[in-house]
Amino acid sequence: MTAGGDRSRVYKGDWIVSSVLLDRAERFGDGLAVSSLRGDLSWADLVDRAQRVAGYLAHLGVGPGDRVATMLPSNTDYLAAWHGIVWRNAIDVPINNEYKGAFLEHMLRDSSAKVLIIDAAWVDRLNQINITDLEHVIVWGSANPSSFTARPVHEFADALSADPVAIEPRSETDLTYVIYTSGTTGPAKGVVHNNRSSIWYCMPFIEGLDLVDDDVCYSMFPLFHQMGRSACSMTAWYVGNPVVLRERFSVNGFWEDVRDSGATWMGYFGAVVLFLWNQDPSPVDRQHSMRRAFGAAAPRELMGPWTERFGVKLTETYGSTELGLGSGLGPGFGPSKSGTMGQPCRHVDLAIFDDDDRPVATGTVGEAVWRPRYPYAIFQGYWNNPGATVEAFQNLWFHSGDAGMVDDDGNFIFKDRLKDSIRRRGENISSFSVEESVRGNPGVLEVAAYAVASDLAETEEEVMIAVVAESHAGPDVEQLFRTLCDVMPRHAVPRYLRIVAELPKTPTQRVQKVKLREAGVTADTFDRESMGIFPKRD
């Protein structure tokens, strides 16, 4: 079926998450909803499992509005847990599987989760934290109650065999989940979404990708992340597309897997684009049905060559846990202008403000601020944190904390996280732009740019980069410096470079630049100026 074809499977009911799945089960029954390496699920299977988990939660005393945390591999049982919680009209609190210690304790305590559904492999982590509100632990896999005695322990298999319950009455404004930010600069904040904003999260992907009946989604991102749960899974189900569910991204055999699954669209992160590009060219590079992909941080210089090699159009988008998708996809959108993240989606307004919350002129960098054009089109605030909510929505706009600008055609151009900007010789430098210049050079797998103190003055900063080598040999540091001198503005060329085994990251894989800044210029740092390499004056 060609783009723009029959869209009879697109859901046209109310804005309630559980109603979407119920409609699919009633209309398509035994049709394929989920394909996974652990087995497939029909629409009827998915709803039946959600009903049974909801029944078990009711048996444990979980009622509407109670929080149930989930910490599971991204498989079909996670789907049952997630939608069982929503079916019960409780609130899902998805937790990153890497969390432990203070990270895990903060989420469970801040959300006041009543029940935790967790993989057996991670139960021991609960012995190291103080969780006062947790009443029950449901263990997925081989449960060993003796390893955790602080709360009653149940088996997830019992939940799947419980008596199913009817859908709990709910409204479009009832909350569906609280998903926590990464906590890069402070304690993670719980982002609150309700039924309506959960569905709005899907709309730009449905409309911008022009999804139709016979499309198939390839989802390789964790279900505790919005890419996996909202941008991919819920979007696919809203259209009536099946989801090819993979627990993680694997570069080995990727295109063969895509081909065999019949997938036609997917999401990506920049690292995915790089990993696939760095593989040796193969005859299977185009032997698949994938045609569309969306995401962020793909190296700009690879956008065209990547599409030509693999036959998949890449669309750079901008979004956040709070906002959903802000720009890049929507009805009637043409190809995104190169170097931009497209025009604002139809459910939000975008403005660029200065430090005093005043609009700036077109082409001027400032903070990107957003507001919904429809009721509940974005998140409803931060859980248990009214102060952070008020601060984020000052002057009735959601302040993203990101620096950007709008060009003459109305396209959004992302510049940097505001706190990641570097000031050198009176110039503000985007760490994002520095990283784009370094990324893609021979021997560079990952890079982070940040400010370190200058030896000239306390108020001055120098640009430093930490590089993860692509191979044991790593980049030729002298050649890399010389290349950057040729391709970057003089004031932005990094002075310092450090080769690191890995970048420090939060459990959601955001680089913790504060740790890099704290380390500063280390003994193993290369100093470009000491090497006698200087950018030429134009």
Q: How many residues does the chain have?
A: 538
For residue 440, is it within any domain?
yes
Give the integer Cα–Cα distance in Å for 182 and 67. Answer: 19
The alpha-helical segments, DSSP class H, found in 227-353 are 235-239, 254-261, 270-277, 303-310
The pTM for the full model equals: 0.85
Q: Which of 18, 180, 24 is nearest to 89 (CA)?
A: 18
Q: 174, 195, 216 — which closes off a domain? A: 195
| Better-scored residue on pLDDT, 368 or 150 | 368
Which amino acid is it at 167?
I
CATH number for the domain that contains residue 327: 3.40.50.980
Same domain as 447, residue 324: no
pLDDT-based confidence at residue 457 (cuts at 50, 70, 90): low
* Residue 383 confidence (pLDDT) above 90: yes
Same domain as 427, residue 468: yes
Give me the pLDDT at residue 185, please.
Answer: 54
Q: Which of 242, 246, 241 is nearest to 256 (CA)?
A: 246
Same domain as 396, residue 341: no
Q: Which residues partner with 450 through β-bridges?
A: 464
* CA angle in degrees (0–180, nearest 5) for 368-374-378: 50
pLDDT (tens digit per residue) in 99-133: 888 888 989 999 999 999 999 999 988 988 888 88
CB 349 within 8 A of CB 373: yes
Percent share of the chain, pLDDT over 70: 94
Give the integer Cα–Cα distance in Å for 212 and 62. Answer: 38
For residue 513, is it within any domain?
yes
The alpha-helical segments, DSSP class H, found in 112-253 are 156-160, 195-200, 203-208, 226, 235-239
- Tell me the three-class secondary structure of 119-132, residue by residue: EHHHHHHHHHCCCC
For residue 64, is it within any domain?
yes
Same domain as 278, residue 168: no
Give me the pLDDT at residue 3, please.
Answer: 41
DSSP state string for 427-457: EEE-HHHHHHHHTTSTTEEEEEEEEEE-SS-
For the chain, give the mean pLDDT.
Answer: 90
pLDDT (tens digit per residue) in 28-54: 999 999 999 999 999 999 999 999 999
The DSSP symbol for 483 reads H
CB 450 within 8 A of CB 518: no
Same domain as 91, residue 190: yes
Same domain as 302, residue 160: no
Give the integer Cα–Cα distance in Å for 134 and 325. Answer: 33
Report the domain count for the chain: 4
| Better-scored residue on pLDDT, 421 or 249 | 249
Give the integer Cα–Cα distance in Å for 526 and 530. Answer: 8
Same domain as 340, residue 363: no
Give me the pLDDT at residue 430, please.
Answer: 80
Those residues whose C-beta lies under 8 Å from the C-beta of residue 247, and which sit 6 or more positions away, are 37, 73, 74, 75, 222
**Interval 350-375 mean pLDDT:** 96
pLDDT-based confidence at residue 182 (cuts at 50, 70, 90): low
Torsion of CA 400, 200, 75, 191, to 10 degrees: 40
CB 479 within 8 A of CB 413: no
For residue 81, is it within any domain?
yes
Give me the pLDDT at residue 437, please.
Answer: 86
Give me the pLDDT at residue 334, please.
Answer: 65
410: left (phi over 0), alpha (psi -120 to 50) or beta: left
Give the integer Cα–Cα distance in Å for 383 and 174. Answer: 14
pLDDT-based confidence at residue 429 (cuts at 50, 70, 90): confident
Q: Which of 270, 282, 278, 250 is nearest to 441 (CA)?
A: 278
Same domain as 393, residue 437: no
For residue 86, is it within any domain?
yes
Phi, psi of 168 (to 5 degrees): -75, 130
**Alpha-carbon dihedral sign for residues 373, 181, 178, 207:** positive
pLDDT-based confidence at residue 483 (cuts at 50, 70, 90): very high
Q: Which domain holds residue 428?
A: 421-527
CB 528 within 8 A of CB 481: yes
Same domain as 493, residue 379: no
Same domain as 307, residue 364: no
Give the integer Cα–Cα distance in Å for 299 and 276. Answer: 12
For residue 221, is it within any domain?
no
